[in-house]
Amino acid sequence: MLDLSPDSILTGAVQQIFPAFVLALVAAALHVTTGIPSRLHVGKAAGALVAAVLGALCWWPVNVAWTHLRSASAPSANIRSGNADSRSETPPPAAPGRSVRVKRPEFDVSCSSEQTRTSHTQRRSHPCEFAVDGDPTTAWQEDVDGCGDGSWIQLRFRQPIAIDRISFTTGFDKTDWQLGDLFAKNCHVAAYHLEIDGNVQQTKPVGPSERRAEGVVGKVAAQLRIVVDRTYPGTFPKEVDLAITELSVWKLEP
Ligand SMILES: [Ca+2]
């Protein structure tokens, strides 16, 4: 499809016109030093113009061929984004259609602490169940002092599954009509690690504006725990809580 974006037009101009401009300068220099354009019965300006046109016409197929060679030799892009684990020992992404989201009642959820209406805070209820309810407006919030560094949420599967990958929001990814952006106002994840059947995985950092973390797992397991190692502070003046809106797990079907 024809790309008429300003960046594309600028890039094309640089790629096509610049070499021709250089050739025009070379033609002008040859006229001064050798007089070749004069012997061809053309003036300096006409010689430079002809050289520029010929240069552009000759450069175009060379440029197209070079672009194809570069794209053919370039490595394929990693389709994982965010904090996906791109280490060489991780398996390649599953073929479309083979990876399915794990749903209830395939697992039970638990967490290190949770805000409930009966907790000492007497705040709104934010149980860990809210991280897996499929509702982007509800969130799990821990119930410890501070931002809850070290808090965890865990899924225990009814039977071991081949976990393909996980994805979770790194904070309260919701905009409240009164309070505004709850992600910035609450604490959110700065680094986390996975524990798969008790085996501790490598800690992964999360950028301050990354609202979702994704990771390839590629293991058969009966239990998956996400442990929040570090957090970014929220901007709420009083209450500071870590929140996760949604956590999703995909499994590979046999
Ligand atoms: Ca939710």
More confidently predicted of 245 and 180: 245
What counts of helices (H) and strands (E) characterise the chain? 4, 12
Percent of the chain surpassing pLDDT 70: 58
The verdict on 68 and 27 lying in the same domain is yes
The verdict on 199 and 104 lying in the same domain is yes
Q: pLDDT tier at 93 (50, 70, 90 boundaries)?
A: low
Give the distance (Å) from ligand 1 centre to CA of residue 244: 8
Q: Which long-range contacts (CB under 8 A, 24 or more apart) does 119-128 make?
A: 119/143, 123/239, 126/241, 126/243, 128/153
- Given a cut of 60, whether residue 236 has pLDDT beyond it is yes
The verdict on 50 and 111 lying in the same domain is no
- Specify the pLDDT at position 254: 78
CATH at residue 168: 2.60.120.260
Question: Residues 33-45: what's their mean pLDDT?
Answer: 60
pTM of the model: 0.61
Residue 174 CA, distance from chain mean position: 19
**Separation in Å, CA 93 to CA 55, 77, 86, 90, 213:** 45, 12, 10, 9, 16
Average pLDDT over all residues of the chain: 76
Give the distance (Å) from ligand 1 centre to CA of residue 137: 6
- Specify the pLDDT at position 107: 98
Report if residue 91 sits inside a domain. Answer: no
The verdict on 114 and 30 lying in the same domain is no
Number of Cβ atoms within 10 Å of the Cβ of 51 = 23
As for how many domains the chain has, the answer is 2
Report if residue 79 sits inside a domain. Answer: no
The verdict on 127 and 169 lying in the same domain is yes
Give the distance (Å) from ligand 1 centre to CA of residue 160: 24
C-alpha span between 210 and 44 (Å, rounded): 58
Report if residue 230 sits inside a domain. Answer: yes
- For the chain, how big is the Rg over CA atoms in Å? 29
Report if residue 191 sits inside a domain. Answer: yes
The verdict on 120 and 234 lying in the same domain is yes
- Specify the pLDDT at position 14: 45
Asked if 152 and 112 count as a contact pair (C-beta separation under 8 A), the reply is: yes
The verdict on 150 and 63 lying in the same domain is no
Phi and psi at residue 29, to the nearest 5°? -65, -40
Give the distance (Å) from ligand 1 centre to CA of residue 42: 76
As residues whose CB is below 5 A from the ion ligand 1, the structure lists: 130, 133, 135, 138, 246
pLDDT tens, residue by residue, 50-91: 655 665 565 555 554 543 443 333 333 222 333 333 333 344
H or E segment and range at residue 231 = strand 212-232
Give the distance (Å) from ligand 1 centre to CA of residue 122: 20
The verdict on 14 and 66 lying in the same domain is yes
The verdict on 10 and 104 lying in the same domain is no
Give the distance (Å) from ligand 1 centre to CA of residue 173: 10
Give the distance (Å) from ligand 1 centre to CA of residue 61: 54
**CA nearest to 153, candidates 108, 188, 209:** 108
Report if residue 44 sits inside a domain. Answer: yes
Report if residue 183 sits inside a domain. Answer: yes
Domain that holds residue 56: 6-73
